[in-house]
Structure 1
Amino acid sequence: MVDAFHSESGLVSTATRPVRKKFAKPPVKVACLPCRASRTRCGGQEPCSNCVAKDRKCSYLPSKRGGPRKKKQRPSQSPEEELQQDDAQYLAVPGDFEESPDMFTQIDVLSLPGAGLRHLDFPQVTSMFQSYYSGDTGASHVPLELMPSPLSDTQCFVRLYGSEPEILNAYYDFIHTYFPILPPRVSPPCQDRPLQCPIPCSNPPDEPIIMYRPRSPLSLAISAVLALIPHPEDPDSSSPASILQRRMYAHKFAQLASSVIDAECDLDLSSTDPGQALSSERPAVNREKLHPRTPEDLDTLLSLLILSVYEYTQRGNLLKMRYRAGQALALALDKSLHDHHTEDVFTEARRRAWWMTYYCVIQGSIVSTTPPTIVINDPQFTTPYPRFSSDAEGWSILIQAQQVLVSATQFIADLNKCLSTQQGLNFLFDRMQSLDSWTNSVLVQAEMVPTTSHEPVFGYQEIITAQSIRTISKIKLSSAQIKTHRFRAFSDIPIFIKRHCDLTTANQTTSNTELTTKQPVAAVPGPGMNSISCSCSNLDQFQRASSAEYLTPSDSSTSSDIHPCIPQYPHYPFVPGFPYSPHHSAKICFRAAMVISRMFESLPYPQPIYEGQGRPLPRTMPSFACCLMQSSYAMFMLFYKARVVKQMSPEGDCDISRDSNDRVLEELQQGLERILGAVSNYSMAFEALDGMRDEIQGAYQTAFPRTPI
């Protein structure tokens, strides 16, 4: 990609406005009704290519548009006012770009907090971001009462188990690889044996019948996740009836787990003598251990960790996700798990309980873009990391990756504040460099060959789990790179400036001082904005440093030697101080997005032991699904940049440059297809991720309308 982006100078190197090319294929006079509704460019055939690709009915109605355009009578304007208005329209979207500006509406939402989540607990909101900030309402999914009514003889299968050992075995088959809250297996894997009991489907659904009620909150929480995974005997696991039954059983198990947690956290004397209740010891838990090397008093804490992920990936409820993780943190601190150094048979279990609690608390802050509720490097957190026998550094890298990602998330929030106030930017630039260096150093560790632990191994080796955890760490680190560089990478795109005006609002006083006789034209301020200017600049001007990697604020180009892509606008005061050029940040985002797509594709699939050949199964516990959205957002924005470069390249440009650009577009398309494959696999089990899949798929079909998915 990297060489291809050098050709971007063709977009921004000229000081005069580039000659706009006509559409490669002129727009049709009449578009079909489905393309009109989706605001997608129609080919004009009957049926059109878009409708053929999406397998939908293509129909036309006569258009009322066409014919000579009548010019509206406008009041007389001065030449300067006319030039300002024309330049403001040009800034909105490049006139030579074929695609509709509406495609960027599809891209923008991919980077928002909780992007794409489908909300089973809040059926009246369209997105989690809107529910937090805008108050807009709408139907996010089909209500239960409107689910298609199945035939009277329809039966479904739900993944239920009949004993604690079978539930524990299924935990290692489906959950442990991605979310190792328990120590390794102590017994060999067994055949996966979900109950073969068909469940009659009804509408509305009946109260789930629990054939075997798990004994502990941990086995109940595990059962909630297992119930979401399609049963091997289900003939049509993707049917609405099957999905609804799995949802009902999973939520029933989650509710039972919550009720047991509440009961075990209650103090016997709290209702009769509250003063004595706080000073008395907690009642002992009297039940058989689910795992022989995990004390039963950790069951409540571990079940909260599973329920935290369940609330995010299945229910789409960020508030409950963070609440469950907060409950687990309170229990962990109460048990002093954060400062545990005792060596006994339960040491590994307690270490994993603490650091997975830490992981989930931080994850709640990442997905909701809120400040962490704990100090991420608190010196009181002294419990040693757990160990994989096949990867001594695996846990350390995972926790460091989590710390880097939450720091990058907080960097975005602070960047927004600094850009709106135009204060503290120099400190933020230093922080950006430090964050980038920190990310790279942990990435180097993640890329190194794992070393074997010399500690004694209790139970079976976790080779696949260790590999999976290191893969997840790389995903998180790459996502941190995108968050650190995405504003700088795309701040030279006019459509980005217009749609991210909240990120680029300059102080009116500061903007006025930037105006000189060489910069007589200013963009027309929009509602709620001060002076908005174009930060498009010659990318080569930012690469004069010998290292060509990054520049210090003192070495950055000034307004006198930047050649903007449109008539001179006052440059943002923060542009000269950024330590990286847009070109450099774009390359980082490209590499990071490609790594994320490949790492998701390389994550192992569950491999339970069946009597026959089973169908492909969904991966589970995608608490880091937000990284999918970050990757897709970056790739769509890079796709836009590459398309503009290709369209504006001179016709006599060398074949090597054109081929390089085509390879970039091809790589981006393949990366997006890998991301779609990963999120589609997750959504086989987790309904909240349906929305993520649909958001990415809709943007993909807009970008590649002739490519079947």
Structure 2
Amino acid sequence: MEGRLNAYYDFIHNYFPILPPRVSPPLPDEPIDNPAPYAAFPPKSPAMLYVPQSPLSLAVSAILALIPHPEDPEPLSEKSVIQRRAYAHTFATLASLKAEADWDFESSCELSQSLPTQEPSIPRGRFHDHTPVELESLLALLVLSVYEYAQRGNLLKMKSRAGQALSIAMGKSLNRWMVEDGDSEARRRAWWMTYYCFVQCSIVNSSPLTININDPEFKTPYPKFSSDKEGWSILIQTQQLLVSATQYITDLDKALSSRTNLDPVFQEMQRLDAWARFILARVDQLPTLAREPDRSDYSEIITAKSIRAMSRIKLSSARIKIHRFRAFSNIPIFIKKHCDLAVAYTDESNSHTDGNAVVAQAETEDPSCACSSLKPFQDSSAVESSFQPSNSNADSSATQRPFSLNFPYSCQHSTSVCYQAAIVISKMFESLPIPHPLQKPYQQQLNRRILPRTMPSFACCLMQSSYAMLMLFYKARVGVGFFSGPDEKDTESSLAEHISELRYGLRRTITAASNYSQAFEALNGMRDEIRGAYETAFPEDFMGEGDAAAVSGG
């Protein structure tokens, strides 16, 4: 169990800190060698050398099993991928069964009469010294929720796991836990990560949130980072903004389709934009120390920086959602459904939407409609009109009926916001730490492969960033002056500079997606979609598989 806990901190904690800080120094990472050759067992029932008793240890094992073995000569080969998939799914299934067994055991006890300071009745040692055993099934569900999303692409199970976790957390009163003891930090992290995961399901599914994000019953203090006093509160607030921006996209689409009064929607746009700028000011401030960090806090300093980067990613993604329609009129580029982005139609002979078709579509739009046209923006207070679908077979969210609109922001302003936010997302994904487990000297010589990041619960932000950068490229290609002020004109050199920035930003997103997809199969589609659109936009800059994995270490 000690080895799995150590591996949790090496591979998971920096992106998904459900447990308190380490209580013991890092150990060398010692992944278990394959117990049998690939062909020695059916892929759906691999031989298990050891089965942990903790549902959390099993759920963590499901994630760890997806990481390529450092001594596998062909980690991306079909047989290696199938083998990892089989082990991961076996661990995930066992974790779910063990969590059910824990709930059955707890329900048979008079837990309602227990005092908070009593030891749990579950007859098992703790996975973490400062995390009560009765929280392990809850935390296992959070890990499994991300597993279902990132590995299996099963959004229904993702939502189901998070919903179960929320019910358990509130049943244990974790949402209003005010007791201060040795396990307080564990309970705070358990509650707020449960909240985070439940809200994430609404973001990914573009579905209404079934809880009040500011429910007065959510009283539990935020967890703590000694190196960043505001880190957790900023993460939760960006998550709240992102789910609100996702709902705004849905409301705008419905209002456009039904031709209802858009004034309330535009008021919400202004509210969300002000909220985003408020959080941006907080994120840009230097972190405040809760106390002077000591040597034992080193790993948590990395985690705190990672959480800040994740907050910037989510904040920037929310800003794109708030301004995306105004800037790009929801013109579709991607050919498969990803998150809340519209789907483009292509004939079977083309693998990706042709960039020229995007430009041609925009050029046929009503020239007076600055937000849907890729022609130079003309500052005017006149009411805009005529949003035409890109194709009769396009996704319904891209089909706009002509009627009066009066956005509170100019197309130029919204485009500028999307440009800044998209570049930030690409840079922040690149800045997320790469796992560097402690290794024995001989392993350091053998294993030079870049390891994958894990827990990509916010992968949709990659798609938001890529969509915005591709649309910005097409605007720039037809000479649109959206990067300069209203009374200025982009020079040839400045446009070239912006296009170069967009090119490298897209390469960073492909690199991030490629890194994640080493372990998580459901992200292959995102990676291939972005790469295909990139190759269409920049055919002279073809980016092969090896290139994507090599850029910027990830």
Q: TM-score, normalised by structure 2?
A: 0.82
Map Cα deviations across residues 417-438 of structure 1 (whole Å, 9 max, x no partner): 1112222311111110110010
- Tell me, yes or no, if the aligned pair for 2:376 and 2:479 is still in contact at 8 Å: no
3-state DSSP class of the match of 2:453?
A: coil
2:20 counterpart residue number: 183
User: C-alpha separation between the residues in 2 aligned to 1:588 and 1:209?
Assistant: 52
Once the two structures are TM-superposed, the CA of residue 658 in structure 1 deviates from its matched residue by 1.5
1:425 counterpart residue number: 262
Aligned partner letter, 1:536: C
User: C-alpha separation between the residues in 1 aligned to 2:159 and 2:496?
Assistant: 43
1:477 counterpart residue number: 315
User: C-alpha separation between the residues in 1 aligned to 2:66 and 2:88?
Assistant: 6
3-state DSSP class of the match of 1:199?
A: coil
- Tell me, yes or no, if the aligned pair for 2:125 and 2:133 is still in contact at 8 Å: yes
1:328 counterpart residue number: 165
2:223 counterpart residue number: 386
**Counterpart pick for 1:592 among 395, 414, 421:** 421
User: C-alpha separation between the residues in 2 aligned to 1:558 and 1:319?
Assistant: 41
Once the two structures are TM-superposed, the CA of residue 503 in structure 1 deviates from its matched residue by 12
2:463 counterpart residue number: 629
3-state DSSP class of the match of 1:706?
A: helix
User: C-alpha separation between the residues in 1 aligned to 2:218 and 2:50?
Assistant: 39
1:557 partnered with 2:382: yes
- Tell me, yes or no, if the aligned pair for 2:377 and 2:480 is still in contact at 8 Å: no
How well do the aligned residues superpose, as a CA RMSD in angstroms? Answer: 3.1
**Counterpart pick for 1:666 among 492, 500, 511:** 500
User: C-alpha separation between the residues in 1 aligned to 2:133 and 2:277?
Assistant: 40
Aligned partner letter, 2:382: S
Once the two structures are TM-superposed, the CA of residue 284 in structure 1 deviates from its matched residue by 2.4
User: C-alpha separation between the residues in 2 aligned to 1:468 and 1:349?
Assistant: 19
Percent identity of equivalent pairs: 59
Q: TM-score, normalised by structure 1?
A: 0.64
Map Cα deviations across residues 45-67 of structure 1 (whole Å, 9 max, x no partner): xxxxxxxxxxxxxxxxxxxxxxx
1:166 counterpart residue number: 3
**Counterpart pick for 1:264 among 79, 97, 102:** 102
**Counterpart pick for 2:432 among 592, 599, 603:** 603
Q: Which has the larger radius of gyration?
A: 1
**What pairs up with 1:332-351 in 2 under 5 angstroms?**
332-351=169-188
1:252 counterpart residue number: 90
Q: Structure 1's 622 and 493: CA in aligned 2 closer, same or farther, altered over 3 A?
A: closer
1:223 partnered with 2:57: no
Once the two structures are TM-superposed, the CA of residue 620 in structure 1 deviates from its matched residue by 0.4
1:376 counterpart residue number: 213
- Tell me, yes or no, if the aligned pair for 1:535 and 1:572 is still in contact at 8 Å: no
3-state DSSP class of the match of 1:542?
A: coil
Aligned partner letter, 2:217: Q
User: C-alpha separation between the residues in 2 aligned to 1:623 and 1:494?
Assistant: 24
User: C-alpha separation between the residues in 2 aligned to 1:196 and 1:323?
Assistant: 33
Aligned partner letter, 1:305: L
Once the two structures are TM-superposed, the CA of residue 199 in structure 1 deviates from its matched residue by 2.6
1:308 counterpart residue number: 145
User: C-alpha separation between the residues in 2 aligned to 1:645 and 1:495?
Assistant: 19
Map Cα deviations across residues 610-666 of structure 1 (whole Å, 9 max, x no partner): 12323210000000000001111111111111112279xxxxxx9961222222221
Mark the runs of 5 or more structure 1 residues left unpaired by the alignment.
Answer: 1-163, 271-275, 497-501, 505-531, 544-555, 563-569, 648-653
Once the two structures are TM-superposed, the CA of residue 395 in structure 1 deviates from its matched residue by 0.1
3-state DSSP class of the match of 1:170?
A: helix
**Counterpart pick for 1:688 among 522, 538, 541:** 522
User: C-alpha separation between the residues in 2 aligned to 1:175 and 1:186?
Assistant: 16
User: C-alpha separation between the residues in 2 aligned to 1:541 and 1:195?
Assistant: 63
2:250 counterpart residue number: 413
- Tell me, yes or no, if the aligned pair for 2:226 and 2:292 is still in contact at 8 Å: yes
Aligned partner letter, 2:98: V
User: C-alpha separation between the residues in 2 aligned to 1:559 and 1:361?
Assistant: 38
- Tell me, yes or no, if the aligned pair for 1:401 and 1:477 is still in contact at 8 Å: yes
User: C-alpha separation between the residues in 2 aligned to 1:312 and 1:208?
Assistant: 22
1:196 counterpart residue number: 33
Once the two structures are TM-superposed, the CA of residue 170 in structure 1 deviates from its matched residue by 0.2
Q: Structure 1's 632 and 295: CA in aligned 2 closer, same or farther, altered over 3 A?
A: same
Larger helix fraction of residues? 2
3-state DSSP class of the match of 2:49?
A: coil
Map Cα deviations across residues 208-267 of structure 1 (whole Å, 9 max, x no partner): 111111120000000000000011111111111111100000000000001111122226
- Tell me, yes or no, if the aligned pair for 2:142 and 2:162 is still in contact at 8 Å: yes
- Tell me, yes or no, if the aligned pair for 1:646 and 1:658 is still in contact at 8 Å: no
**What pairs up with 1:515-664 in 2 under 5 angstroms?**
536-537=369-370, 541-542=378-379, 556-558=381-383, 572-575=402-405, 577-611=406-440, 612-613=443-444, 614=447, 615-645=449-479, 657-664=491-498
Bigger RCO (CA 8 Å, 6+ sep): 1
- Tell me, yes or no, if the aligned pair for 1:227 and 1:246 is still in contact at 8 Å: yes
Q: Structure 1's 503 and 170: CA in aligned 2 closer, same or farther, altered over 3 A?
A: closer
2:303 counterpart residue number: 465
Map Cα deviations across residues 515-535 of structure 1 (whole Å, 9 max, x no partner): xxxxxxxxxxxxxxxxx9665
- Tell me, yes or no, if the aligned pair for 1:492 and 1:535 is still in contact at 8 Å: no
Aligned partner letter, 2:455: M
Q: Which runs of 4+ in 1 moved over 4 A?
A: 267-270, 276-283, 455-459, 492-496, 532-535, 538-541
Aligned partner letter, 1:249: Y
